[in-house]
Structure 1
Amino acid sequence: RKGITKVTVEALPAEACRVTFELKRPWRWTPGCHVHAYLPAYSLWSSHPFSIAWAESKPKAQPLEIEMEKIASKNGSLSHSADIDHRPNIVTADSTYSRKSMLGAPTVTTISEVAHRKDGVNIAIPRDSAVTSVSLIMRARTGMTRKLYEKASASKTGTLTTWGAIEGPYGGHDSMTSYGTVILFAGGVGITHCVGFVHHLMLQYQAGTSSTQKILLVWSVPNTEALEWVRVWMDQILRMDGRRDVLRIQLFITKPRHRGEVISNTGSVQMFPGRCNPETILKREMAERIGAMGVTVCGPGPFADGVRGAARSVVTEGVVDFIEEAFTY
């Protein structure tokens, strides 16, 4: 599973990058797994562990129009007058996280639900399927991640292409589908551990192969700009059939720039200023749980400690399993 491959890097707000590896051959993906990323152009002698935020099976690129004409003239099966549309399908979607600005008014970030419709595109497919590309979110710290972010953000398009390799995947042993209620806590870039779980659980719920009836995603971030890290993926999750019946999302903005920055206008996706209180959340969810409860967390040490303590405080009230994904090691 090792090998040099094409890597696309996109600069994101709040000093982060979306890094997508095109796999040389398909392999099995499971939610919660991680890989070691190797980017020699930015860190020659070391690799770094990152959770797989998203995985997808991309179709092979269709031949260009000029190539189609060459094939037609060679085989004699197509003609220039044939009524064939060579243009690729283009699908546009409204952003779930939208930023609206008004003249003379501060920037306001809102969350709005997009129209409930089918896309026909299956991204982050079930664990028994093969994927051909994986995406990571790298927060710019020091060393490789800082160099990568500065290089991508300095480009005209905000993207760059390089080469690299990944080793793995590792982990991902528990799909969480055996729990009636699943609570996922994410702190900062720890959302990469949780977003794949959410989509996987929704897919299994749709297929009727999961015990899960309630999913709550709790994400704590410093500012609303960080929502862009997973916006394109959350948009797809929020369009899934049956999502309103099973999934709720709570966003906690710990350092809002002003009071009007945090606005929540839907019932199943809520945004709050300040820090979350894991104990309050778990006690409330424990009283309304369905079946056994699975709690998982990925985030900074103090954040994970708080969630662990909250899970311990309710463990005597029912069946509760706690799973922690180390933020670093």
Structure 2
Amino acid sequence: MKFRFTAGLAVFPILTVVSLFIFTQPPLDAYSGLQTPLLYLFGVLSLASLAGAFDLPVIPGLLRGLAVSMFVYTYPTYPPYDPSRLHFQTGLAVLIFGSVLAKEASQTPRKFDLLVRGVGLFVAFLGLSQLLKDMGAPPWLSSIFFYLGFAPLVVYSLGFGEALLGGDYIEKRAKGLIIAFVLIALYVGGRDYLRELFPEIAFLIDLALFVAVSVVVLLIVGRYFMGSDLEPFLLGEWEKHEARVKIVKDEALREAKNAIDEFVVRKNKLPLIAYLSYYGSRAYGSPDALMEVIKPLVEYEGTSYSSLTPGWLVKKYERQDMERRIRIVEEIIGRLRG
């Protein structure tokens, strides 16, 4: 296991030792309440630096988040440290750690990242709920955020279970499912409160909320269930495109066919970049000249659209985007041939 020395390996242990003794000496002994939070902060950051020195995955990031969370959690709740007297420490600490856990999920092994992300988001919502409660927010508001946390937990847990069985149906639609569950939860939770607040227009509030939530949920369902699997659609469009017919008939491009298909249909430009870099170097003596030719391919970015975009509109955007990728391929082929 490779070891890499970092400044944190020296700085944080020193700060830990300093924190252990400095608050026992006047005049800093008046602030001795900060000793425990700082010991947790610098002590755990020392462990994070050690884990980072061995280039361990995930653990350094989690330890850094834990260090900040423990500092906040143990921060004194009395003046002069907390003049607000809001006792925000517990909720904020849990919120921070949950956010870090969700963020670090992308660094965990495939499949397990779904479970870690779901747990992290649930913990973050739990912390936000507690924070709102501690700061005097209405009980219904903190309760809503608590129950909202179950949406990502349930969806990503189901996605994790499906991934273990070799599927990815839920994973591909996780974002839309979570938004749909959140909207339904907000509707159920906020409906009664608004009816009590405005009893004279309770029926109109009910109707407006129901219509709004229904429209948004239907858009999400349409986006993620009817128009989400775009590869067969794009493959069908590409197979009958005149540009592909020319490429298939062109013997010189026979070896590039798979790389071109990968880019045009799946937006994966790396195989085509690798192919053009290898074979294009024979035609261009200068790497800069070759880079100028393939620059449109290197700089290509797909069109982004909202989660609420209807499936039919997504297909329209994707068809237009595919045409743009085809033009890039045709332009590069034309320039390579001079």
TM-score by length of 1: 0.24
| Structure with bigger RCO (C-alpha 8 Å, 6+ apart) | 1
Higher strand share: 1
More helix per residue: 1 or 2? 2
